[in-house]
Structure 1
Amino acid sequence: MRPLIYDAAQVDAHLAGEPLPALPAGPHPDDLLTDAEAGAVAGITASTVRADAVTGLMDRGQERHGRRWWTRAAAEARAGREAQYKGRTAGAKDLAPRIARTDRRVREVAAIAEAVEAGHARPVTADELAKQYGVSPETAERLMAKADEARDEDRRKS
């Protein structure tokens, strides 16, 4: 819900018991707008208004009533500029999933498991791997599980 912000001249006139001056008929450059309203004026999203304020591409706005407000003039000035970051190009063809690099520790644990199977090494525990890599026993168990998955996949490929 938008908090009510009153025209200072009208408040002063009311408190003095004088007739209220007329409000401006149309938009005024000093009108205070929320991020969504400023974005609508500028033709951008509310999150872009906030991001531009942080990065200095738009004025920082003013803090009032626990909320940040931007002037209509600042929003209109922003409307004339292109965005610095346009995001991903529509129709981009590089949408294929990236190849995930295997953690070197997974390869090392898989090599240990291969050596154990071949009879060239003794089995290791998750606690031993945790100490060796400086990780928690749970992380060592995950490394062992991923090493088993990698070995199974290598066998399927062969």
Structure 2
Amino acid sequence: GLRGGVRIGASGGVATGADIVRRLAQGADYTNAARSMMRALGCVGALRCHTGGCPAGVATQDPLRTRALHVAEGARRVRLHQQETVRDAVRIMAAMGVRDPGGLGPAHLVRRSHTGPARSYAELYEWLAPGELLAGPPRSWEADWKAADPDGFR
């Protein structure tokens, strides 16, 4: 009964409208994008963020290097990237016949396999009903459930 009071965010590899739709169909309430926004801002992917030596001036406190960053232009690009990414997500949902993110679900995701036919996530994975774990784990989860340790990771 907690799901109504909990929001789930998804991040990691979210860069396109398709990425957003996929995460929402998997159960996320919202998504976060980092790398694509940094690229839109002007990041060149030099992988020197932690050194203070960012050549684009995005991830540095060095006043000389920050001269490379054009804040107004970067802000415009980030805004346009966000608008277009959300617009793409809305178009994809419309093409799927879905009016809002709440209408997305596991049946909207399909996994292709070279060993068999494409199947939806609803067919491939076991989806729990609200409150189902209160009575105990489903049979297919029993071994993992017994091996789980609430005090640490294994």
Same fold (TM over 0.5): no
Structure having greater relative contact order (Cα 8 Å, sep ≥ 6) = 2
TM-score scaled to structure 2, two decimals? Answer: 0.23
TM-score scaled to structure 1, two decimals? Answer: 0.23
